[in-house]
Amino acid sequence: MKQLFTITALALSTAAYAQPVISNGNNMPPVGYSDTVSIVATGANPGSGGANVTWNFSAHTPMLVGKFTVVNPANTPYASTFPSATFGIELTPFSGSSMYEYYIISAAKWETVGGGITSSGGDDYTPNPKTMIPFPFSFNDVVTDVFTKQNGTHNLTMTYDGYGTLITPYITYNNVVRMKREFGGNDYFYEWFVTTPYLMTVATYDNNNGRLTFVGKSVINSIKDVSTASTQVTVIPNPVTSSAIIRINAASNLNGKVIVTNVMGSVVKELSVKNNEAILSREGLTAGLYFYNVVTEKGSAAKGKFVVE
- How much is the pLDDT for 95? 67
Amino acid type, 55: W
State the pLDDT confidence band at 8, using cuts at 50, 70 and 90.
Answer: very low
- Cβ atoms of residues 161 and 178 within 8 Å: yes
For residue 132, what are the CA distances in angstroms to 108, 180, 265?
11, 11, 38
Q: Which residue has the higher pLDDT, 285 or 220?
A: 285
State the pLDDT confidence band at 177, using cuts at 50, 70 and 90.
Answer: very high
Query: Mean pLDDT: which of 10-24, 90-104, 123-137, 279-293 is highest?
Result: 123-137
CA–CA gap between residue 149 and residue 18 (Å, rounded): 37
State the pLDDT confidence band at 305, using cuts at 50, 70 and 90.
Answer: confident
State the pLDDT confidence band at 46, using cuts at 50, 70 and 90.
Answer: very high
Question: Considering only CA atoms, which of 170, 143, 173, 147 is closest in space to residue 158?
Answer: 143
Question: Given a cut of 60, is residue 226 above it in pLDDT?
Answer: no
- Cβ atoms of residues 4 and 203 within 8 Å: no
- pLDDT above 70: percentage of residues in the chain: 87
- How much is the pLDDT for 17? 58
CA–CA gap between residue 113 and residue 281 (Å, rounded): 43
Per-residue pLDDT, averaged over 199-214, amounts to 93
- Cβ atoms of residues 56 and 81 within 8 Å: no
pLDDT, tens digit, 9 for 90 and up, residues 17-41: 578 999 999 999 999 888 888 888 7
Per-residue pLDDT, averaged over 59-78, amounts to 89
Amino acid type, 56: N
pLDDT, tens digit, 9 for 90 and up, residues 100-156: 999 999 999 999 999 999 999 999 999 999 999 999 999 999 999 999 998 899 999
CA–CA gap between residue 105 and residue 100 (Å, rounded): 16
CA–CA gap between residue 55 and residue 192 (Å, rounded): 10
Question: Considering only CA atoms, which of 107, 106, 94, 138 is closest in space to residue 5?
Answer: 94
Return the percent helix, strand and coil in the chain, to nearest 5. 5, 55, 45
- How much is the pLDDT for 12? 28
State the pLDDT confidence band at 230, using cuts at 50, 70 and 90.
Answer: low
Question: Considering only CA atoms, which of 266, 265, 264, 307 is closest in space to residue 288?
Answer: 307
Who's near 63: CB < 8 A, 6+ residues apart? 38, 39, 40, 41, 263, 289
CA–CA gap between residue 5 and residue 89 (Å, rounded): 10
CA–CA gap between residue 130 and residue 108 (Å, rounded): 13
pTM: 0.69
Phi, psi torsion values for 222, nearest 5 degrees: -85, -10
- How much is the pLDDT for 54? 97
Question: Considering only CA atoms, which of 248, 236, 240, 234 is closest in space to residue 276?
Answer: 248
- How much is the pLDDT for 249? 79
Who's near 134: CB < 8 A, 6+ residues apart? 108, 109, 141, 143, 145, 158
Q: Which residue has the higher pLDDT, 3 or 283?
A: 283
Question: Given a cut of 80, is residue 279 above it in pLDDT?
Answer: yes
